[in-house]
């Protein structure tokens, strides 16, 4: 049996997640083991947010942030190994995502900051990193990469499933029933989830996130704003597609709010969100939607866009993972939009929803070590299968 560690810090920039994955010698059994999550300190999180846009001394700052993240990643590996009672020699490799500060596949690159050699040196374990570049070089989006892992661990012989990751950005994996059908696995980023929820909540309440969605629950959906947000061409663009904070940032949200105000149709009930909506609608009449109503509208945006992707595919059941599964209100709104299609979390498929993304990067490390292609061309749009990732290996060959 071989063991791999996956390290993930996503667009929410909330924490470093570390997951242990065990793969049996025939590569059939994939088992997720322990999981550890270390919060990112405010200074580093703010710096990653700042590095999302060009600024003074940005090269130097990017390298320093990559060094700081390597140290945080190493702390997470140490915590995971201590908790699992394992030594570094018992880990075959680490798959480390790094922190995305640019995602521009159409321009030929996506930047995940991380000083991988430093991480490898500190842990004494080989590190697989820069996992998106090869797919982008082959004309793909370089994202999402997790659908290949989802297909390995979540595909059912009978059920047409959708796996939904509610991270900073939401992405779906669409898994046809595995009954000899030739239909490919599909997957794409549906749009924003926690990244805009967190930014808005932080700005208006000072809290890092809206715990359980309580603040959004207290408010009403602003239909004109929802319609304005849904009119962004990203949502109607066909897959393959992927996105990030390059598009869905606070400026995007502010532009949508401004546009909804200018149209003078604040609070008027629209039909943008489709039939069957029973959302409460803001009272209207003001120039600016109430801050809590914007939060409720952002929750609805995620619920609508994810549910559409699942419905268009004809999913028979939907399984969610990621930090957004802890947002009870978001899960309720998503369940409502999906009904009668059932919504569960991946816990019922025996993988902790918080650990799925990090586990996927452990599996990607295994694919790289075995020199196996790990991109799904039906997902990323690359012109062919590619081995993903570069390797930093501090272990000296003894042969």
At 361, give phi and psi (nearest 5°): -75, -25
Decide: 327 and 334 in contact? Cβ < 8 Å.
Answer: no
> Binding of ligand ADP at residue 192 (CB under 6 A)?
no
Cis? peptide before 144, omega within 30° of 0 = yes
Is residue 22 within 8 Å of residue 6, measured between CB atoms? no
Q: Of 229-237, 310-318, 323-331, 366-374, which segment contacts ligand ADP by CB under 6 A?
A: 323-331
172, 187 Cβ separation under 8 angstroms: yes
211 makes contact with ligand ADP (CB under 6 A): yes
**Footprint of Mg ion on residues 13-42 (CB under 5 A)?**
14-15
CA distance 391 to 394: 10
Pick from 5, 12, 110, 225: which binds ligand ADP (CB under 6 A)?
Answer: 12
Residue 357 binds to Mg ion (criterion: CB under 5 A): no
Tokens, residue 386: 């590619």
Residue from 76, 77, 74, 67 nearest 114 by CA: 67
Select the binding partner of residue 357 from Mg ion, ligand ADP, none (C-beta < 5 to 8 A, by kind).
Answer: ligand ADP
Given ligand ADP, Mg ion, none, residue 211, with its beta carbon under 5 to 8 Å by kind, binds ligand ADP
Nearer residue to ligand ADP within complex by CB, 125 or 358: 358
Q: Is 198 in the site for ligand ADP (CB under 6 A)?
A: yes
Q: Is 338 helix (H, G, I), strand (E, B) or coil?
A: helix
Q: Does 11 contact ligand ADP by CB under 6 A?
A: yes
Integer Cα distance of 4 and 7 in angstroms: 10
Residue whose C-alpha is closest to residue 8's, from 42, 36, 47: 36
353 is a site residue for Mg ion (CB under 5 A): no
Q: Provide, rounded to whole angstroms, the least separation between the CB of residue 331 and ligand ADP.
A: 10
Q: Please state the φ and ψ torsions of residue 115, each to the nearest 5 degrees.
A: -90, 90
Shortest Cβ 10–Mg ion spacing (Å) = 4
Per CB under 6 A, contacts with ligand ADP among 140-169 are 167-168
The reply to whether 334 sits near ligand ADP by the rule CB under 6 A is no
Q: Shortest gap between Cβ of 145 and Mg ion (angstroms)?
A: 16
Residue 100 makes contact with ligand ADP by CB under 6 A: no
Q: How far is the CB of 385 from ligand ADP (least distance, A)?
A: 25
Q: What are phi and psi of 333, to 5 degrees?
A: -65, -40
Site membership for ligand ADP, residue 33 (CB under 6 A) = no
Structure tokens of 330? 């978001």
DSSP string, 63-99: HHHHHHHHHHHHHHHHHHHHHHT--GGG--EEEE--E
If contact means CB under 5 to 8 A according to the sort of partner, which of Mg ion, ligand ADP, none does residue 197 touch? ligand ADP
Is 223 near Mg ion (CB under 5 A)? no
Q: Is 327 in the site for ligand ADP (CB under 6 A)?
A: yes
According to CB under 6 A, which one of 316, 326, 347, 349 is a site residue for ligand ADP?
A: 326
Can you tell me which of 3, 5, 6, 12 binds Mg ion, judged by CB under 5 A? 12
| Dihedral sign (CA 298, 303, 306, 312) | negative
Instruction: Assess contact for 187 and 144: CB atoms under 8 A.
Output: yes
Residues of this chain that bind ligand ADP (CB under 6 A): 10-12, 14, 167-168, 194, 197-198, 209-213, 322-324, 326-327, 357
């Amino acid at each position: 049996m071989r063991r791999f560690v996956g390290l993930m810090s996503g667009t929410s920039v909330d924490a470093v997640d570390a997951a242990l994955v065990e793969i049996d010698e025939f590569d059939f059994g994939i088992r997720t083991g322990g999981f550890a999550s270390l919060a990112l300190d405010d200074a580093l999180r703010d710096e990653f947010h700042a590095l999302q846009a060009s600024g003074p001394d940005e090269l130097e700052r990017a390298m320093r942030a990559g060094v700081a993240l390597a140290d945080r990643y190493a702390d997470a590996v140490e915590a995971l190994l201590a908790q699992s009672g394992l030594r570094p020699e018992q880990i075959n490799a680490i798959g480390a995502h790094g922190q995305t500060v640019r995602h521009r596949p159409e321009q030929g690159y996506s930047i995940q900051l991380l000083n991988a050699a430093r991480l490898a040196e500190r842990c004494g374990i080989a590190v697989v990193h820069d996992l998106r570049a090869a797919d982008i070089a082959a004309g793909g989006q370089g994202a999402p990469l997790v659908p290949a892992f989802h297909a390995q661990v979540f595909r059912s012989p009978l059920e047409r499933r959708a796996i939904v990751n509610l991270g900073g950005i939401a992405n779906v994996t669409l898994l046809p029933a595995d009954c000899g059908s030739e239909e490919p696995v599909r997957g794409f980023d549906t749009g924003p989830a926690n990244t805009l929820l967190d930014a808005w909540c932080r700005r208006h309440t000072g809290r890092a996130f809206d715990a359980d969605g309580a603040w959004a629950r207290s408010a009403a959906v602003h239909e004109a704003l929802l319609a304005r947000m849904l009119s962004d061409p990203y949502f109607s663009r066909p897959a393959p597609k992927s996105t990030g904070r390059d598009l869905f940032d606070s400026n995007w949200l502010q532009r949508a709010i401004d546009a909804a105000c200018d149209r003078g149709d604040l609070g008027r009930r629209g039909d943008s969100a489709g039939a069957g909506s029973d959302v409460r609608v803001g009272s209207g009449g003001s120039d600016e939607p109430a801050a809590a109503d914007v939060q409720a509208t952002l929750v609805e945006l995620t619920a609508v866009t994810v549910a559409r992707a699942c419905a268009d595919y004809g999913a028979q059941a939907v399984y969610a993972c990621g930090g957004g599964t802890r947002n009870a209100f978001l899960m309720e709104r998503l369940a409502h939009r999906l009904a009668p299609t059932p919504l569960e979390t991946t816990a019922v498929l025996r993988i902790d929803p918080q650990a799925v993304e990090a586990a996927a990067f452990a599996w990607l490390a295994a694919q790289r070590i075995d020199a196996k292609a790990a991109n799904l061309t039906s997902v990323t749009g690359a012109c062919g299968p590619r081995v993903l990732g570069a390797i930093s290996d501090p272990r000296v060959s003894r042969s």
